[in-house]
Structure 1
Amino acid sequence: MSGIATCLWFDGQAEEAIAFYVAAFRRAGRPAEPGRVLRGAPQEVERVLLVTAVLDGHEVQGLNGGPEHRLSPAISLSVACKDQAEVDALWEALGEGGSPVACGWLTDRFGVSWQIFPKVLPEMLTSPDRKAAARAMQAMMKMVKIEVAPLEAAFAEG
């Protein structure tokens, strides 16, 4: 693990959200381990302040910070998947109770934005064959959940 972690601000939902993420990653066959729970100051020993987990090697922290700040799509968690089966599994698990957006983005039921994509996508989009890359980009722009087969077909045609 690196020394950088992602901290997500919740209004009393940190425990539930982090447990949801651990379960979602595990259901999708990705490694996920719950971490520590930090309770509030001595006068608030029953209040959970921070909950952590390691999702596929990345530490995610859930902070019960209160209603002052809201999550937005201005920041998202991005997950590269090895194949379509993994994209499908993570998309379904993280999308449970949330909403799909576009181009591999979804917002989970806690308001966190995720980008779920196959590892082959950035390879296609950065290909030295700029025409093939443009075709792959155009195909992706029409998708909600990323589908590998249509991307590969668009990339290869021509």
Structure 2
Amino acid sequence: MKLVRITPCLWFNDAAEAAVAQYVRVFPDSRIARTLRYDAAAARQAGRPVGSVLSIEFELDGQPFTALNGGPLFRFNESISFVVHCATQAEIDHYWQALGEGGDPSAQQSGWLKDRFGVSWQVVPSALPGWLADPDPAAASRVMRAMLAMRRLDIVALERAHRGKPG
């Protein structure tokens, strides 16, 4: 794994191994680079079983991450999310279904979802930032209104809203 300056670290109670396994299945060009396990001294201090997973270094679509089994002290919330930029509706549908499976359906709004591990994701069309920043405020506003009415984003409907065409 190439050393990068910034690597997101995801703190799990004890689900790092299951989460990483799911994520590397969902994203192309993904892999587990290294798994560290609790030795006797660290396990004793952390109250974890000897040999259980301490941390996993992994890549999702080439982006490095670390997952840590640190215990129940911290939980994920929506103040941090990962944005998945998608070129096609098929990609949106794939990531929405795969990441949302077993997650919290009540947390699905405007392209956001929460997976079964509590991690928040935004599954969006690659064109969305440009549509929302359109110099024509009416076009940007139509896209925003359309997006806010959706759970899983629909590229065709958002593009129609951007162009001012009825659905």
TM-score of the two chains, using structure 1 as the length reference: 0.91
Q: Which residue in 2 is equivalent to 1:88?
A: 93
Is 1:40 aligned to 2:38, yes or no? yes
Partners in 1 of 2:52 and 2:7 — Cα distance? 22
- Alignment: residue pair count: 154
Structure with larger Rg: 2
Determine which of 85, 109, 117 is the counterpart of 1:102.
Answer: 109
Query: Could you give the per-residue CA deviations for residues 52-103 of structure 1, whole angstroms, max 9, x where no partner exists?
Result: 2111121121100001111111111111111111111111111111134101
Say what the alpha-carbon RMSD is for the aligned residues: 1.5
Q: Is the 8 A contact 2:39 2:51 kept in 1?
A: no
Q: Which residue of 2 aligns with 1:7?
A: 9
List gaps (5 residues or longer) in structure 2.
44-49
CA contact (8 A) 2:103 2:117 kept: yes
> Residues 32 and 58 of structure 2 are in contact (CA less than 8 Å); yes or no, is this contact kept in structure 1?
yes
Alignment correspondent of 2:152: 145
Deviation of 1:42 after TM superposition, in Å, equals 4.7
Overall identity of the aligned pairs, in % = 45
Q: What is the SS of the residue equivalent to 1:143?
A: coil
Q: Which of 47, 62, 66 pairs up with 1:61?
A: 66
Letter in 1 for 2:127: V
2:128 aligns with one of 121, 138, 151: 121
Task: Give unpaired runs (5+ residues) of structure 1.
Answer: none
Alpha-carbon separation, structure 2, partners of 1:21 and 1:60 = 11
Q: TM-score, normalization: structure 2? A: 0.86
2:6 and 2:87 mapped to 1: Cα distance? Answer: 23
